Amino acid sequence: MAFPNSNGTEAGPWKLAMEDGKPIKPPVTVKYTKLFINGEFVDSVSGKTFETFDPRTEEVITGVSEATKEDVDLAVKAARAAFDHGPWPRMSGSERSRILNKYADLLQQHSEELAKLETWDAGKCLDMVQGFDLPEAIGNLRYYAGYADKIHGLTLKMNGPYQGYTLQEPIGVCGQIIPWNFPLIMFFLKISPALACGCTVVIKPAEDTPLTALYCAHLSVEAGIPPGVLNVLPGFGATVGAAISNHMDIDKIAFTGSTQVGRLVMEASAKSNLKDVTLELGGKSPLIVMDDFNIDEAVEIATVASFINMGQVCLAGSRVFVQEGVYDEFVKKIVERVKKQVVGDPFKRGVQHGPQVNKVQFDRILKYIQYGKIDGANLLIGGHSLGKKGFYIEPTIFNNVEDDMRIAKEEIFGPVMSILKFKTVEEVIERGNKTIYGLVAGVLTNNINVANRVSRSLRAGTIWINCYLTGGSEWSLGGYKMSGIGREFGPFGLQNYLQVKSVITPIHDSPWL
Ligand code: ADP
């Protein structure tokens, strides 16, 4: 199939959707830019600030206080005191639940402002933040608020004249480090189960997207979360992130980000106090389209799997394996479908595809598009940046991709789909598993036996059958292989913030039953 244009690919049909040809003036102001320690906004010890940028224009939004190791020490001290002596771990679960639900109500009340702030800082489409990110973030907080008074242990049947039971105790002071692709969801995915269990938290938002985390810190005071329970430290990975990972007085670390940094976090834990580690890392997930599946539905699912949030999703299903019988038709239809993606200013209603988050990511994605061409894949559509300012990249599709090409093996974290052809179920299982990652996978088929076989054979933490990227607070997310350690969301997410203590006493003068 030929899609001719000047560089051998079909020219993308996209013009940046803007209002009056200009970026929309941000309809929100920034109110909170300082570190949040012990229930107050404070300057950093060094007095330093760093800038956060608008990905649409590359212009500075505001300066934000920059935490360093000294600020981490102060925040940990506050969190330690709140855990060891404060009311939070000691109050009843139902009281914690009431406060967390009030926090969720406040987020709801301020959702308009929060969503706009998120779009401004992260370049995420406002429609999506309002329709997905915020409801998910608030839903997560409510979900774990509901667990706060339902955390309990077991009565043990002892092998002797003893009685025993287990306590599920909060693990202590938790360090949490999050990325920039879903700032609000990540913030609440991390703090909600920790707070529900009675832990205290020192959390570092990504340096690209600190603004909504600080706004949420402010609302936590109004909700009644006591000082020291939640501390928010904007700053850089190599300083704040490393100081959290290395800290001797932090009991637990939960990290979401790249596999490379996950390894550093784990190393730091091993070299400091062996703090418990939960890691949610990279992926290069397969989406498998079998011959028998409705092709139009497959095209819709694949579009979401590769292009949602401009491909900045660790769960992206960007290795699309298509069975040979429908391969040509799929290729033709996905190109037509992707042309309909509305690319433009993320503040504009109806826009589905905004800028990438920053220059580093923008350059990295364009480099991978070059790798695709050099390695011999066929660029079907896209492949270029858009506009004179901002980090916009066209939705991009390669076919004739082979397993050993860089675009098939490495996580791109951008809007780049690789299409690979396969013949048999055995073959696609083997090729699907040929990766260092194992985060998620999808299979589209009407044959229950194929669905069962593929889902039990792929080594990944979530397998979607006939859908992709569905699920809310109640599922479990986590990686096989180098995609991570542990599970988040759902009841599994609670276990990250609890530890089990056994209590045993002898039984005298009583029946031992
Ligand atoms: P991404 O490639 O998505 O930016 P990273 O893994 O680099 O992913 O970043 C995820 C989070 O980890 C960010 O908050 C970042 O600041 C933090 N981070 C980066 N380097 C380190 C480090 N050495 N130690 C701890 N955290 C870090």
Question: 86: domain CATH number?
Answer: 3.40.605.10
pTM of structure: 0.97
Closest Cα to atom 20 of ligand 1 = 237
| pLDDT at residue 119, as a whole number | 98
Q: Are residues 342 and 467 in the same domain?
A: yes
Question: At 129, phi and psi to the nearest 5?
Answer: -60, -45
Contact predicate 307/287, CB 8 Å:
no
Average pLDDT per consecutive 10 residues, the chain (513 residues; last block may be shorter): 37 86 96 98 98 98 98 99 98 98 98 98 98 98 98 94 96 98 98 98 98 98 98 98 98 98 98 98 98 98 98 97 98 98 97 98 98 98 96 98 98 98 98 98 98 98 97 94 97 97 95 77
Question: What are the tokens at 31?
Answer: 């109110």
- Count: domains in the chain: 2
CATH number of the domain that residue 324 is part of: 3.40.309.10
Contact predicate 441/464, CB 8 Å:
yes
Q: Are residues 290 and 349 in the same domain?
A: yes
Nearest to 119 by CA among 183, 58, 64: 183
Angle at 285 between CA 282 and CA 289, to 5 degrees: 170
- Please spell the DSSP secondary structure of 466-491, one letter per residue: S-SS---TTS-B--SGGGEES-BSHH
Is residue 1 in some structural domain?
no
Closest Cα to atom 11 of ligand 1 = 179
Q: Are residues 265 and 344 in the same domain?
A: no
Buried b (16+ CB within 10 A) or exposed e, 266-296: bebbeeeeebbbbbbbbbbbbbbbbeebebe
| pLDDT at residue 511, as a whole number | 84
360 alpha carbon – ligand 1 mean position (Å) = 13
The Cα 331–Cα 443 span in angstroms is 17
Q: Are residues 299 and 439 in the same domain?
A: yes
Q: Which residue has the tokens 């056994």?
A: 502
Structural domain of residue 365, as residue ranges? 286-472
Atom of ligand 1 nearest to the CA of 206: 14
| pLDDT at residue 512, as a whole number | 75
Q: Are residues 395 and 297 in the same domain?
A: yes
| Helix (H), strand (E) at residue 443 | strand 440-444
Angle at 280 between CA 274 and CA 286, to 5 degrees: 145
Closest Cα to atom 14 of ligand 1 = 206
59 alpha carbon – ligand 1 mean position (Å) = 23
Closest Cα to atom 26 of ligand 1 = 241
Which residues contact ligand 1 via a Cβ below 6 A? 177-179, 204, 206-207, 236-238, 241-242, 245, 257-258, 261, 264-265
Is residue 165 in some structural domain?
yes
Contact predicate 317/468, CB 8 Å:
yes
The Cα 450–Cα 446 span in angstroms is 8
252 alpha carbon – ligand 1 mean position (Å) = 17
The Cα 438–Cα 471 span in angstroms is 18
